[in-house]
Amino acid sequence: MQVLGIESSCDESGVALFDTERGLLAHALFSQIPIHQAYGGVVPELASRDHVRRLPGLIRQVLGEAGVQRPDAVAVTAGPGLIGALLVGATLGRTLAYGWGVPIIGVHHLEGHLLAPMLEPDPPPFPFIALLVSGGHTMLIRVDGIGRYTLLGESLDDAAGEAFDKTAKLLQLGYPGGPAISTRAEQGDPAAVSLPRPMLDRPGLDFSFSGLKTAVLHQVRQWTAPGTPQQVADLAASFQEAVVETLFVKCQRALRDSGLQRLVVAGGVGANRRLRERLKQLPAEVYYPRPEFCTDNGAMIALAGALRLQAGEHASPDFCVRARWPL
Ligand code: KG4
Ligand code: ZN
pTM of the model: 0.94
> Is the predicted pLDDT of residue 319 greater than 90, yes or no?
no
The residue to mutate among 29, 32, 82, 134, having the most atoms of ligand 1 within 8 angstroms of its beta carbon, is: 134
Question: Using alpha carbons only, what angle is made at residue 287 by residues 281 and 292, rounded to the nearest 5 degrees?
Answer: 120
> Is the predicted pLDDT of residue 81 greater than 90, yes or no?
yes
CB-count exposure of residue 120 (10 Å: 0-12, 13-18, 19+): middle
CATH of 125-288, one of 3.40.309.10, 2.60.34.10, 3.30.420.40, 3.20.20.150: 3.30.420.40
Output the pLDDT for position 201. 85
CA distances from 25 to 16, 75, 103, 120, 273 (A): 8, 15, 19, 13, 28
Domain span(s) for CATH 3.30.420.40 in the chain: 2-116+293-310, 125-288
**Ligand 2 center from residue 208 Cα (angstroms):** 19
Q: How far apart are CA 272 and CA 319, in angstroms?
A: 34
Output the pLDDT for position 175. 85
For the chain, percent of residues with pLDDT exceeding 90: 91
The residue to mutate among 109, 288, 295, 300, having the most atoms of ligand 1 within 8 angstroms of its beta carbon, is: 295
Which ligand does the CA of 134 lie closest to? Answer: 1
Mean pLDDT of 207-235: 93
Mean pLDDT of 167-195: 95
User: Does the 2-116+293-310 domain belong in CATH 3.30.420.40?
Assistant: yes
The residue to mutate among 137, 269, 274, having the most atoms of ligand 1 within 8 angstroms of its beta carbon, is: 269
Nearest residue (by CA) to ligand 1, atom 14, is 178
- pLDDT-derived band of residue 7, with 50, 70 and 90 as boundaries? very high
Strands (E), 168-293: 262-266, 285-287
- pLDDT-derived band of residue 260, with 50, 70 and 90 as boundaries? very high
**What tens digit of pLDDT does each residue of 125-158 get?**
999 999 999 999 999 999 999 999 999 999 999 9
For the chain, percent of residues with pLDDT exceeding 70: 100
Ligand 1: residues with CB < 6 A are 10, 134-136, 161, 164-165, 176-179, 182, 267-269, 271-272, 295-296
- pLDDT-derived band of residue 112, with 50, 70 and 90 as boundaries? very high
Output the pLDDT for position 317. 76
Nearest residue (by CA) to ligand 1, atom 13, is 178
Q: ipTM for the complex?
A: 0.98
- pLDDT-derived band of residue 160, with 50, 70 and 90 as boundaries? very high
The full DSSP string for 26-58 is EEEEEE-HHHHHTTTS--HHHHHHHHHHHHHHH
Output the pLDDT for position 226. 85
Which ligand does the CA of 32 lie closest to? Answer: 1
Q: Compute the 3-state secondary structure of the chain and give helix, strand, coil in percent, each to the nearest 5.
A: 45, 20, 35
Output the pLDDT for position 200. 87
Output the pLDDT for position 150. 97
Output the pLDDT for position 102. 96
Output the pLDDT for position 158. 95
